[in-house]
């Protein structure tokens, strides 16, 4: 039985992520036990971590102070597979323009930056965009290598890593080249929402569960 902990910061529809993971696991024949939790002990005892969320970076940073953030960092350092979705990608970095002074997990160097206004586009960026794979073979994202799909985004900020080799996929929104996914070792994270991306999102979640 594969144990997956969904990190609960009270942000976003975590049940939709849970249902998508369970469906993806069933399609792959994987026995799955999903726990939605903010308990550091539960995070420390799980096989895989999923960190989804939509909301304010400052609230996220406050929720990660102390035991929960320490547990996530320790599990990542120990090699536990981690999937970040939207805010769960942004939280991997050190800081965000949205919340000066608030600190992310700091797993990677870099900052989360605002998508500035530009002619012909709307912010927040909401809707379907096609991925551009910039680094094939990036963990579960490799399921998209042969034919990069359209996936669903809802966000106003995106991560700008200090080390651009982290970036596995990008997408365009007007003049903006958006970090759509990052990956390194046991960590993969997407700015898009696989749980909202229909069949291609389930294919990605299945690859994460099976990997």
CATH of the domain at 104: 3.40.50.880
Domains contained in the chain, number: 1
pLDDT tens over the chain, length 211 residues: 999 999 998 877 899 999 999 999 999 999 999 999 999 999 999 999 999 988 889 999 999 988 999 999 999 999 999 999 999 999 999 999 999 999 999 999 999 999 988 888 999 999 999 999 999 999 999 999 999 999 999 999 999 999 999 999 999 999 999 999 999 999 999 999 999 999 999 999 999 999 8
CA dihedral 123, 58, 50, 189 (to 10 degrees): 50
Per-residue pLDDT, 120 = 86
Give the containing element (helix H, strand E) for 69. helix 67-77
Cα–Cα distances in Å, from 149 out to 12, 41, 171, 194, 202? Answer: 24, 37, 11, 11, 12
Neighbouring C-beta atoms of residue 58, cutoff 10 Å: 14
Q: Domain residues for 55?
A: 2-210
> Do residues 49 and 7 make contact, with C-beta atoms less than 8 angstroms apart?
yes
Per-residue pLDDT, 53 = 83
The catalytic residue positions are 86, 193, 195
Strands (E), 69-142: 82-85, 95-96, 110-114, 125-130, 132-133
């Amino acid at each position: 039985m594969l144990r997956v902990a969904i990190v609960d910061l009270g942000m976003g529809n975590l049940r939709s992520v849970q249902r998508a993971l369970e469906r993806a696991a069933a399609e792959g024949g994987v026995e799955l036990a999903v726990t939605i939790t903010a308990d550091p002990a539960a995070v420390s005892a799980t096989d895989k971590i999923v960190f989804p969320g939509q909301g304010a970076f400052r609230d996220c940073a406050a929720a990660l102070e102390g035991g929960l953030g320490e547990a996530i960092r320790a599990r990542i350092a120990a090699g536990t597979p981690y999937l970040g979705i939207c805010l769960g990608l942004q939280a991997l970095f050190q800081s965000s323009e949205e919340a000066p002074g608030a600190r992310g997990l700091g797993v990677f160097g870099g900052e989360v930056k605002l998508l500035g206004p530009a002619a012909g586009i709307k912010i927040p960026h909401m809707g379907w965009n096609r991925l551009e794979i910039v680094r094939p073979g990036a963990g579960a994202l490799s399921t998209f290598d042969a034919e990069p799909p359209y996936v669903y985004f809802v966000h106003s900020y995106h991560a700008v890593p200090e080390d651009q080799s982290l970036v596995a996929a990008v997408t365009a929104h007007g003049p903006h080249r958006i970090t759509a996914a990052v990956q390194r070792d046991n960590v993969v994270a997407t700015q898009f929402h696989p749980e909202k991306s229909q069949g291609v999102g389930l294919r990605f979640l299945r690859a994460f569960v099976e990997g």
